[in-house]
Amino acid sequence: MNIRNIVAGLAILVLVTFSEKATGQDAPAHAITNVTIHLASGETLSNSDIVWRNGIIVDIGSDLDIPFDVYTIDGGDSLHVFPGLIDGLATWGSPEQPRNLPNLEDPGNPPYDRAGVQPERKPVHYLNEDKSISAAMKAGFTLVGLGLDGQMLPGQVQPFNLSSEQLTEAHLFSTSIGLQGSFDTAPGGWGSGAYPSTQMGVMAYFRQLMYDAAALQEHMNYFEKHPDMPQPEHSEVLEALFPLINADIPLIFEVDSKEEIERLFRLQDEFGFKTILVGARKAAPLAEELKNRNISVIASLDVNDKPKWMTDAEKESKDSENDKDGEDKSEESDELSEEEITFRAKQEAAWNSETQNIRSLIDSGVSVGFSSAGLSVKDLQSKITLLVDEGVLTTTELLKMMTHTNADILGLSNRVGDLKVGMGAHLILTTGPLFEKGTKIHTHVSQGVINDFMEN
């Protein structure tokens, strides 16, 4: 064997070794072929394929060179692929709130947890198995910002890939993306409750927390440079507020009414933190202000049903078209008092305004995503139908809210929220257009993990 042969042999060995490494450590690729692909923008790619490997989209389009090791799902030219839906904030799997809390010796100075202040909590350490997660998966959700049930500062918000009813560290999509917050008062009733027990108390308590955290952070900074000074006392609660003070993460704050949002503005003006509104069901009057403050909303779709008298009137109106005996019924409405007639007019205006809330926010340029915010998946479809039927939102807008915009608001849009090469494989294969009655989720893919619902 001459030198040339030895070199050639080594070269082949190296090539084989590396190529083995390239394929040996990769999971097999997956592809869905021959489908209509819908992007977050609403743009569609017909007769197209999508390929992912190791949880990342590696190719998308028509007539792709499908890798040899791919596991393929054939869409048969009739199925659709959408980006996986994202729920901006849910508390699935959160442990139940403790009941029968013991009375405190000094309710005015409760430990942080009894005041409803637990910003150090990370959901991953607390989550229970929850059937709501599989229900959400079956509705098309592949990623969620998970928080915990609680009060003023219940904990951190962590994004999870949705592929199991029991979420663990293995499902974490990234580190914490914000602190959860609300104006909820300390837990407990008269016997076991604590300060703060009112919204004004929550605001004052929040301020003091921020002052205390700022002082501790300053002390720790000083100590780092001057270890000969008195050592700061560590506090995992106050230290968990440092990223908020430093505007590194937002306060993801659950709030609905105009007045409460204005109160949140006061706190923001004082401390300069970033914030995202959750719910915001009556935020429309403040749309311009939200836009000016660059505050995004992960909105609740939980609009109220029409007042019964409105649906009855619509039904009567339809009936009277077919029934000439409608005169008696109109006499009945004439019997209403002036007060009630006025009340109804105001109520109708209120319903229209509440229903148009998200529209007003979007039209004002506010970035609006979606949060289930306590609304069950079961009720979600009926609310979507209502909003689409009333002309408030199109299905394309809803798709964008629940995918790209949500990812953008949560700071994750470089990795999820659309179907592009390099993004996480979060997608759903459906039997028809999304949000339409009768459409079923055929296959659910979360960061590349496949759940085939048609098999079950």
Structure token pair of residue 344: 């109804």
User: Is residue 234 a contact point for another protein (CB under 8 A)?
Assistant: no
257 versus 431: smaller Cβ distance to another protein: 257
* Alpha-carbon gap, residue 84 to 293, rounded angstroms: 29
Q: Cβ 212 to another protein, closest distance in Å?
A: 5
Q: Is residue 147 a contact partner of residue 155, using CB atoms and an 8 Å limit?
A: yes
Tell me: does residue 230 bind another protein (CB under 8 A).
yes
Question: Number of residues in contact with another protein, rule: CB under 8 A?
Answer: 56
CA distance 455 to 443: 9
Find tokens 């000074």 and name the residue.
229
Q: Does 203 bind another protein (CB under 8 A)?
A: yes
Beta carbon of residue 65, minimum distance to another protein (angstroms, whole number): 55
| Residue 62 bridge partners (DSSP) | none
Instruction: Please report whether residue 302 would count as binding another protein according to CB under 8 A.
Output: no
* Residue appearing with tokens 């098309």: 140
Check binding of 208 to another protein (CB under 8 A). yes
Q: Which one of residues 204, 247, 421, 454 is an interface residue with another protein (CB under 8 A)? A: 204
Q: Which residue's structure tokens are 């003023």?
A: 152
Of residues 47 and 320, the one with the C-beta less far from another protein: 320
406-425 residues in contact with another protein (CB under 8 A) are none
| Contact between 418 and 115 (Cβ < 8 Å) | no
Could you say which of 26, 259, 288, 312 contacts another protein (CB under 8 A)? 259
**DSSP-derived 3-state class of residue 11:** helix
Residue type, 85: L
CA 388, distance to chain mean position in Å, is 20
Rounded least distance, CB 355 to another protein, Å: 8
Question: With binding defined as CB under 8 A, does residue 212 bind another protein?
Answer: yes
- Contacting residue, 153, 157, 162, 216, with another protein by CB under 8 A: 216
User: Which amino acid type is present at position 237?
Assistant: V
Q: Give CA–CA dist 270/276, Å, rounded.
A: 16
**Helix axis angle, 258-271 relative to 199-225, nearest 10°?**
20
Select the residue interacting with another protein from 74, 129, 340, 363 (CB under 8 A).
340
Name which of residues 87 to 146 contact another protein (CB under 8 A).
105-109
Per-residue interface string for the shown chain with another protein, residues 17-56, x marking contact by CB under 8 A = ----------------------------------------
| Helix ranges (DSSP H) in 240-337 | 242-245, 258-271, 287-292, 308-322, 327-334
The residue (of 226 and 324) whose beta carbon lies closer to another protein is 226
Q: Is 304 in the site for another protein (CB under 8 A)?
A: yes
Cα separation of 209 and 168, whole Å?
A: 30
Residue 328 engages another protein in binding (rule: CB under 8 A): no
Q: Is 376 helix (H, G, I), strand (E, B) or coil?
A: coil
In the set 97, 246, 342, 376, which binds another protein (CB under 8 A)? Answer: 342
Q: Which stretch binds another protein (CB under 8 A): 68-76, 135-143, 161-169, 302-310?
A: 302-310
* Cβ atoms of 276 and 254 closer than 8 Å: no
What span, in angstroms and rounded, lies between the C-alpha atoms of 435 and 383?
A: 11
Of these, 9, 166, 222, 236, which contacts another protein (CB under 8 A)? 222
C-alpha to C-alpha distances, 40 to 235, 347, 381, 402, nearest whole angstrom: 42, 36, 19, 9
Cα(171)–Cα(213) distance, integer angstroms:
31
Which residue lies nearer to another protein by CB, 96 or 338? 338
96 contact partners, CB below 8 Å, separation of at least 6:
149
Q: Is 386 in the site for another protein (CB under 8 A)?
A: no
Does position 354 bind another protein by CB under 8 A?
Answer: yes
Name the E strands within 128-244: 141-146, 155-161, 178-182
Using rule CB under 8 A, residue 226 touches another protein: yes
Cis peptide preceding 187, ω within 30 of 0:
no
Q: Which token pair is 180?
A: 């959860």
State yes or no: residue 65 binds another protein (CB under 8 A).
Answer: no
Confirm or reject binding of residue 287 to another protein (CB under 8 A): no
- Kindly tell me which residue out of 7, 350, 421, 454 binds another protein, with binding defined by CB under 8 A: 350
Residue placing its CB nearer to another protein in the complex, 18 or 211 = 211
Site membership for another protein, residue 195 (CB under 8 A):
yes
Residues that bind another protein (CB under 8 A): 105-109, 186, 189-190, 193-201, 203-204, 207-208, 211-212, 214-216, 218-219, 222, 225-226, 228-230, 258-259, 262-263, 266, 304, 306-307, 338-347, 349-351, 354
